[in-house]
Amino acid sequence: MDDAATAGAYQPDDNYTITSLETLKVFSDPLRQQIIDALLDGPKTVKQIASDFDTLPTKLYYHINLLEEHHLIRVIDTRIVSGIIEKRYGISARNFSISRTLLTPGQREDDENQGLDALMMAIMERARGEIHKSVQNGIIDTSQDAPVHRKLMMLRGRGRLTKAQAEQFYARLLNLIEEFEAARHSDDADPDADSFSLVFAIYPITRPKE
């Protein structure tokens, strides 16, 4: 079967909701996040993913099996290569969301907000690794006069918003995120466009007044 044809034909689900703490922990591992990212452009074999990471396939099988076991990736097709079954994997969904119940403390007797910790690792550790790698490889320009498209923009701010202002601000942020995500999935996206990663957080730090 032609690899390019298969990659073009495969269509993952639109969304997969993670509902168990065990699956969230599997998903949150930085290396497994990289594997999922590697499959965003289409199905690949473990050998192809290992080539992307400049590592050995044997170092990825454990992580691939965990991702498949928890339905985060799936086998798209198989073929026989030198008498060995070779599998090609694809992501289960274009977007992964996390059930809010996993972020609520006290859901299990042994729960110490492990769900929130796993979510933070999935986002923050992945971003930290990407930033370090991009700086080391010269992709991020840390000079004072760096062009906008090469800059690292990172900040922490505090402000005061009424309930109405907060609702409006959240809505504007969500629209921007949707615009950012739509560019990745656009059929007429420029093939020469660079890849960017977006991480943000906004959250209340005082209890709402009754």
> What's the CATH code of the domain at 154?
1.10.10.10
Residue 185 pLDDT class (50, 70, 90 cuts): low
| C-alpha torsion angle, residues 132, 185, 202, 154 (rounded to 10) | 30
d(CA 170, CA 161): 11
Q: For residue 130, tell me if it sits in a domain.
A: yes
Q: Is 188's pLDDT higher than 80?
A: no
Q: What is the mean pLDDT of residues 75-84?
A: 88
CB–CB of 36/74 below 8 Å?
Answer: no
The pair of three-digit structure tokens given for residue 26, joined into one six-digit string: 């599997």
Q: Which of 198, 209, 207, 204 is nearest to 166 (CA)?
A: 204
Q: For residue 80, tell me if it sits in a domain.
A: yes
Q: Which domain holds residue 129?
A: 3-185
Q: Is 2's pLDDT higher than 60?
A: no
Q: For residue 96, tell me if it sits in a domain.
A: yes
Q: For residue 199, tell me if it sits in a domain.
A: no
Q: For residue 127, tell me if it sits in a domain.
A: yes
Q: For residue 172, tell me if it sits in a domain.
A: yes
Q: Quick check: pTM over 0.95?
A: no
Residue 4 has what pLDDT? 44
Q: For residue 78, tell me if it sits in a domain.
A: yes
Residue 111 has what pLDDT? 58
Q: Is 33's pLDDT higher than 70?
A: yes
Looking at the 3D structure of the chain, how many domains does it have? 1
